Structure 1
Amino acid sequence: MESTEVESEILRRVRSLLRQLDGHHPACQCDRGMLRWTLHKKIDQNPSNSSMLVSILVKELERAERGDFRHYIIPLLHTLMYTLIKAPCISDELCGRVYDFCKKLLTLPKPFCTIGLDYAARLKMERAAPGTLYQRMVIAEQSLKSDPYPYQEKIFIFADPELLSEAICNALVTDTEAAQVAQSPRACMCYVITHAMEAALGEGCDSSGLKASLQAMSLSEVEHWFQQVVAAVESAGHEASADRAQHAARLEKIHQAVLSSLQAGNAPLGGLQGTPLPNPNISFHLWTEEEQLWKELVLFIRPAAQSCEPECLSQELDAFEMQDILCGCECCLQPRFSVLSTDSGIERDLPLPAEDSLPPSPEPEHSRLHRKGGMRKKPSPLESVAFLQAGCNGAGLKPPGKLQRRAAPAPGPAALLQRLHTARILLLGDDRILGRLARAYHSLRKRETRRAFLTPRLNLQFYYIPVVAEQPSTSPSSPSKHLVTDLFLTDVIAYYARMGTQPVCFQVYAVKLFFNDPAQEPAEDVFLTELRSQVQDSTSPRELSLTKKKTALDGPGIDLTVTYRKVVLSDRAKELALALRSTGLLMKAIPADEAEDLLCLNVTITEIIRINNLSGRSFSAVANRLRTQNINIRSTEQRPFTVCLDKDSRRTYRNVISLEVSPCLEPSYCLQKTRTLKLSLHGAEDGGLVKYLPKSLLLPINTFAGVIQ
């Protein structure tokens, strides 16, 4: 196909993308993402057309910026950058045009300026050292060992087992496993070497000879040249006076050295062939346990290959947080066990044993102190602080076999810790799995406040793909055949995780529930999307008869008192109280309208209004709406109601007579505030470090665009 025909075909596909963004394309309501995916696959089949696609996308972006079609900019820019990362070679002139466009975005509001700044910084580094973005992505996602760039990333897919059918789960497992088949460390190192050569040398790179030479090498030789290439690319990216020609000269020497191992005439000189971008390391999990997220993150920090027996991983995790000494396990070099004793353990304090049982002693006196042997208790690996600290390579940490005391921390080691690991948590489900994430995130933050382990070492990124309930008429096998073959699901997830870098912060709300049984302790929980309350059906015949009489007189529902702080534009607190009769209420934490404030509860109370007329007494239901962040609701007649959080039937509370809802506080803020109040002479709540800490607990979920202003 001639270049003009290829360019016309690519332009047609790009225009189809734009029509989809306008909502005029037939695929705008179904198969979202398919047009972009097929466009990338078309380029992957012939990587030499990458420059043509980048050029077309730059023209469309410039036209959108001039015509004020801002809704085109972010999707096209993500597609362009993804193409540029995978492209075998893009000219400096074309990269310069993309760089200039990204700088223009700095004059626009968020998120355009944020995305433009991020991509401009990446492009500046890519222009100085071509191939840097591809190299860093592969090293991190495949966990390749590299001193110049020691970062690791992994995608954890957590799916709701009650929502996803068995066929979809099997398709995801098959898809992720198929994506890992050709992603051995050796293959990925060869990809990095080849792509770096093509990006820097262009048509001067003998791609065929390079691949043949690497194929004939041993693993140690491939690793040697991989380290040489990574060091050359990273050094060029960090140099202040980095020059593209100088970088090309460095890689040309490595290029010739690698080709010299191949016998002359074995492979002809080939042009640019392109290098595939391996899919990231993905693990699939059905979220069935409360502590499942925490366990997976701990094992990611300390890989399973270094851990202990897998059957111990299901034990409780909280014990390690209160331990003052390091506990080991049998697979460690220096095992230590906790000693349980009910006495002092000093030998002279014990009753004397029989003479025949006394061990021989070189000294006649027994005044020296000896520790009594105790019962050995084998802890869970995840309970052990030694297990956790063994996963950290930070300088200054004591070896796991030695006893550590609770003392003032040294100033050095804490500052040396780096977040070398990135865990990308991707959720598949609906509001129920979002609520479960909010609970797990709140629990993790509380755990990290008591003893920080993950926070200094792990960068957490959250993603969410909504899944609707499967219709009965659809076949269970419909989503999988061609999708699994073409790795569509894995490719879409990888694109979302790689390019979705703009977080939207959602307020987590805390709820405290009081029950009609005075002996029952109040319950505390959190929710992210909604809280729904309904009048509870009476259980006993006596209560049922009283309810019928009350309903006949005052109408259905129960009498409530509502106290809340009204949200006003001036941001001034305004306390209001009202009494009404209601059959239920709904609190929505996430507004349906994108223009509304995210940090606000939209409460709808179904109020029962009594109407007296000539025909008698009647009742009507009216929706009473209010906006607030803090609200208290109490049943005045002590009749209970039910409360369901985040549409999850497993999180339904019964026999509730009162509830309090407020923004969930950040645990570190609460801890620091408590310490400040104890140490402060005047009891100032906002003194010390408290005023510098975030007060509310916000859950950031990554998107492609963030909040558009």
Structure 2
Amino acid sequence: METKANPGVTDAMESDLLRSVHAILLELDGHHTASQFNRGMLRWTLHKKIERNPTNNSTLVKIAVKELERAERSDNKLHIIPLLHTLMYAIVQAVYIPDDLYKRVYEFCKRLLTLPQPYCTVGLSHAVRVKSERLTPGVLYQRMVLSEQNIKNELYQYHEKVFVFADPALFSMEMSAALSSEIEPASPCKSHMSYMCDVIVHTMQAALGDSCDAPALEHMLKVKGQDMIKLCFREVVATVEVCAEEAGGNHSLYTGRLQQLYRTIVNSANPGKELAKFTRSTSPNELLSSDSVLLEMPDPVSDLTSSELLRLSILSTDSGIERDLPPSELPAVSEEPSAGRSEQEQGRLFRRGGIKMKPSVSDGVALLQDTLEETRASPPGKLQRRSGSHELPGGRQQKLYTARIVVMGDDRIVGRLAKAYYSLRKREARRPFLTQKLSLQIYYVPVTHEEQSSSSTKENTAGSDLCQLAAYLGRVDPWYENNIRSLCHMIPKLAKMKSFSGKSSEANPFLADVISYYVRMGGQPVHFCIYSVKIAFTCLTKEHVEDVFVTQLQVDIPECMIFSGTVKGKGTLTRKKNITENFGAVMTISYKKASLSNREVEKGLSLQTSGLVMKAIPSCETEDLDCLIVSFSEGSKAKAGVDGKIRTCNIKIGTLEQKPFTVCLDQDYRRIFKNVASIEVSPCLEPGYLIQKMRNSRFSVSDQEDIGLTKYMSKALPLPINTFAGIIQ
């Protein structure tokens, strides 16, 4: 198809879009005058402009490619991934993009493969999607609508659902009601028929360009009955999916098929009968037939390699039912029982006997490991924290169902999420069920109250930062910083404005749009180590407790003051002198020192302290070692002769004086343990690995030796949280 200019876009609109893109880039550089509370509004405003006029998407694609090429020439990597996501979001929603522009985008994405992580990963993912959209225009939008709206069809059966969880300790009743009214109406209660019409019109526009009269097509679809809309929708989905699955599909044949369907819908005198005749005459199966008059595609069998032909030759079409077998293959039976059967009994279906296979333990562990490979992280304490996935686009069969979990809150809800995630893994390790069918994607939207961050309460430690994990994600991914972390203080303000005004925000659902953009474009996970803590109490009759944390563990020891002597004064009064203050208790600490040299050194010390904090999230980029940083309270550093910090992944702590202490996990007042005698902290091990190791222990001489599947299984269990880019070095 020849390249055509888009007459719907004026020079004024193109200049306006260019100014919006430049404003976003200035905001990334930190030169924009917008306050911290308004960050992310520029991106939302830009997408609203192209949403109101979808023909502007191709212009935005052209502007984004030009800015990407400029960033490439100036080696400005800060702009690359935000511009890539802006470009891809426009491509998915675009109604028509010229072929030369597709080629320009595809060539740029391929050049990113020479760059380090995460640019090569994001570039490869976008290159695969751009190539698919170029060969089959409209396929990305169609699949997005089908999966998000759970529209059932035979050819594309992938579905996804978004679950939003808010921390009840952070959200008041008024705030929860305001947010619910903000999110729920933002997703219009459109019927499946409306979405089907949207898919038909968008696919026709994307494939046919200016030759498609969208208003006329939409009008004809609205006047038809539901049966005809479903019929036309099935035909469009079948055409798109069959051509998309064909490697190097014929673009002209694809557009020709849709062109004929478009003319049948718009120009026929009797649309209902003509459309039914058209779709019945060319079923989806006939699209691959060599006898089809309209689509003369090559014979798929002739293009197969020898190995693929061998695999095809052993495919079985046997249903296992005797009635379906040809007469020559029917099993020999005596005539005596057959003669005694009635005609009704002979007409019944009888299944031949077979072997009922019981899933083995190895199969269960293999299924579990298959899901773990997508989020496998490096061993804690060995290397710096990593992000991204080993999975190549299209390299593994995609699971039919995807659950997108969006948690809203601070570090406390992340800790509770990690605990639930660990419980799910333990249950799946014993008997895989969800992991075989479901892909789990986790997203984090930070939320804090200004009052809580500035006040000191029993529930929150004074001066503590409750969004350490979000701050880290914002440092390593600037696009996450601008679009998601900016919601940290914005959401409470939006909720207050909503509750005070009482007005509906259906016209401009900002929060719902941001969450939708996040779950659609945030596909690069950052892996956080989940740490396991074993807690022993001073009461010997109380059982030990095992728990997990992600961001922080805090130990507090009750203060104690000891006087070393007194001096009597005149009269009955006594005057205290030579007072020695003794706070806290003497603690024994044994740990393995973590370093970049991959050498673990056993160390131990004892010191008097009133408390310590173990932080798993680095406070700056120079300390991005995937380990715990243990800091002691003031006063104990000089006495101990250490710098006050320990870097480790395995540590044991106890008291010599049998003085109990208190442990708080992830700064959550709901997860405080009192009267603790000792704790032991180590990386949380993958439950599937533990179960397999226990089964293999009878064949191993040493418990430390990994044999069988355990050699290839991930030992540590990471918590993957999706961002837009992962970690940008």
- Taking structure 1 as the reference length, the TM-score comes to 0.74
Task: Give the 5 Å matches for 1:216-227.
Answer: 216-227=223-234
Name the SS of the counterpart of 1:524 in structure 2: strand
CA contact (8 A) 2:590 2:652 kept: yes
User: Structure 1 pair 224/36, CA: closer, same or farther in 2 (3 Å)?
Assistant: same
In 2, the alpha carbon distance for the partners of 1:518 and 1:258 equals 80
Question: How far has the Cα of 1:92 moved from its partner?
Answer: 1.1
Name the SS of the counterpart of 2:414 in structure 1: helix
Moved more, 520-529 or 623-632: 623-632
Give the aligned partner of residue 366 of structure 1: none
**Structure 2 letter corresponding to 1:478:** M
CA contact (8 A) 1:634 1:657 kept: yes
Question: How far has the Cα of 1:249 moved from its partner?
Answer: 0.4
Question: How far has the Cα of 1:597 moved from its partner?
Answer: 3.1
Name the SS of the counterpart of 1:178 in structure 2: coil
> What's the C-alpha RMSD, in Å, of the aligned pairs?
3.0
**Structure 1 letter corresponding to 2:661:** F
User: Structure 1 pair 687/49, CA: closer, same or farther in 2 (3 Å)?
Assistant: same
Give the aligned partner of residue 160 of structure 1: 167
| Match for residue 549 of structure 2 among 519, 524, 527 | 527
CA contact (8 A) 1:585 1:605 kept: yes
Question: How far has the Cα of 1:2 moved from its partner?
Answer: 7.9
In 1, the alpha carbon distance for the partners of 2:360 and 2:49 equals 60
Q: Which string of whole-angstrom CA distances, capped at 9 and with x for unpartnered residues, describes residues 539-595 of structure 1?
A: xxxx9999x99x964621110011111112211110111110011111111112234
Whether 1:29 and 2:36 are equivalent positions in the alignment is yes
CA contact (8 A) 1:632 1:659 kept: yes
In 1, the alpha carbon distance for the partners of 2:122 and 2:362 equals 39
User: Structure 1 pair 665/142, CA: closer, same or farther in 2 (3 Å)?
Assistant: same
Moved more, 652-661 or 172-181: 172-181
In 1, the alpha carbon distance for the partners of 2:637 and 2:601 equals 29
User: Structure 1 pair 569/430, CA: closer, same or farther in 2 (3 Å)?
Assistant: same
Name the SS of the counterpart of 1:670 in structure 2: helix
**Structure 2 letter corresponding to 1:224:** L
Give the aligned partner of residue 336 of structure 1: none
Question: How far has the Cα of 1:663 moved from its partner?
Answer: 0.4
Moved more, 627-636 or 409-418: 409-418
In 2, the alpha carbon distance for the partners of 1:567 and 1:410 equals 34
Count of residues in Structure 1 that have an aligned counterpart in Structure 2 = 557
| Match for residue 477 of structure 1 among 496, 507, 511 | 496
Q: Which string of whole-angstrom CA distances, capped at 9 and with x for unpartnered residues, describes residues 261-312 of structure 1?
A: 6769xxxxxxxxxxxxxxxxxxxxxxxxxxxxxxxxxxxxxxxxxxxxxxxx
| Match for residue 677 of structure 1 among 694, 697, 703 | 697
CA contact (8 A) 1:417 1:456 kept: no
Question: How far has the Cα of 1:219 moved from its partner?
Answer: 2.0
User: Structure 1 pair 104/406, CA: closer, same or farther in 2 (3 Å)?
Assistant: closer
| Match for residue 106 of structure 2 among 71, 92, 99 | 99
| Match for residue 538 of structure 2 among 501, 504, 516 | 516
Q: Which string of whole-angstrom CA distances, capped at 9 and with x for unpartnered residues, describes residues 678-708 of structure 1?
A: 2346666211110100000001000011011
Give the aligned partner of residue 656 of structure 2: 636
Question: How far has the Cα of 1:599 moved from its partner?
Answer: 1.9
User: Structure 1 pair 410/188, CA: closer, same or farther in 2 (3 Å)?
Assistant: farther
CA contact (8 A) 1:580 1:607 kept: no
Whether 1:504 and 2:526 are equivalent positions in the alignment is yes
User: Structure 1 pair 115/474, CA: closer, same or farther in 2 (3 Å)?
Assistant: closer
**Structure 1 letter corresponding to 2:146:** I
In 1, the alpha carbon distance for the partners of 2:158 and 2:430 equals 27
In 1, the alpha carbon distance for the partners of 2:678 and 2:702 equals 34
Question: How far has the Cα of 1:47 moved from its partner?
Answer: 1.8
Whether 1:434 and 2:414 are equivalent positions in the alignment is yes
- Taking structure 2 as the reference length, the TM-score comes to 0.72
Give the aligned partner of residue 391 of structure 1: none
Whether 1:466 and 2:446 are equivalent positions in the alignment is yes
Q: Which string of whole-angstrom CA distances, capped at 9 and with x for unpartnered residues, describes residues 41-60 of structure 1?
A: 11122222221111111111
**Structure 2 letter corresponding to 1:443:** S
| Match for residue 402 of structure 2 among 393, 399, 422 | 422
Q: Which string of whole-angstrom CA distances, capped at 9 and with x for unpartnered residues, describes residues 165-209 of structure 1?
A: 334422332233213334211111111111110000011112112
**Structure 2 letter corresponding to 1:497:** V
Question: How far has the Cα of 1:221 moved from its partner?
Answer: 1.9
CA contact (8 A) 2:637 2:643 kept: no
Question: How far has the Cα of 1:240 moved from its partner?
Answer: 2.1
Give the aligned partner of residue 305 of structure 1: none
CA contact (8 A) 2:186 2:506 kept: no
Question: How far has the Cα of 1:408 moved from its partner?
Answer: 5.4
User: Structure 1 pair 622/466, CA: closer, same or farther in 2 (3 Å)?
Assistant: farther
Name the SS of the counterpart of 1:26 in structure 2: coil
Give the aligned partner of residue 344 of structure 1: none
In 2, the alpha carbon distance for the partners of 1:495 and 1:61 equals 21
User: Structure 1 pair 35/627, CA: closer, same or farther in 2 (3 Å)?
Assistant: same
Name the SS of the counterpart of 2:610 in structure 1: strand
In 2, the alpha carbon distance for the partners of 1:57 and 1:607 equals 52
Moved more, 242-251 or 255-264: 255-264
Name the SS of the counterpart of 1:486 in structure 2: coil
In 2, the alpha carbon distance for the partners of 1:610 and 1:688 equals 46
Moved more, 239-248 or 499-508: 239-248
Task: Give the 5 Å matches for 1:531-610.
Answer: 531-536=553-558, 553=580, 555-606=582-633, 608-609=635-636
Q: Which string of whole-angstrom CA distances, capped at 9 and with x for unpartnered residues, describes residues 30-74 of structure 1?
A: 222110110111112222222111111111111011101111111
**Structure 2 letter corresponding to 1:651:** R
Give the aligned partner of residue 242 of structure 1: 249
**Structure 1 letter corresponding to 2:63:** I
In structure 1, the gaps of 5 or more residues are 265-403, 612-618
In 2, the alpha carbon distance for the partners of 1:507 and 1:470 equals 29
Task: Give the 5 Å matches for 1:200-211.
Answer: 200-211=207-218
Name the SS of the counterpart of 2:37 in structure 1: coil
> Identity across aligned pairs (percent)?
49
Question: How far has the Cα of 1:622 moved from its partner?
Answer: 8.7
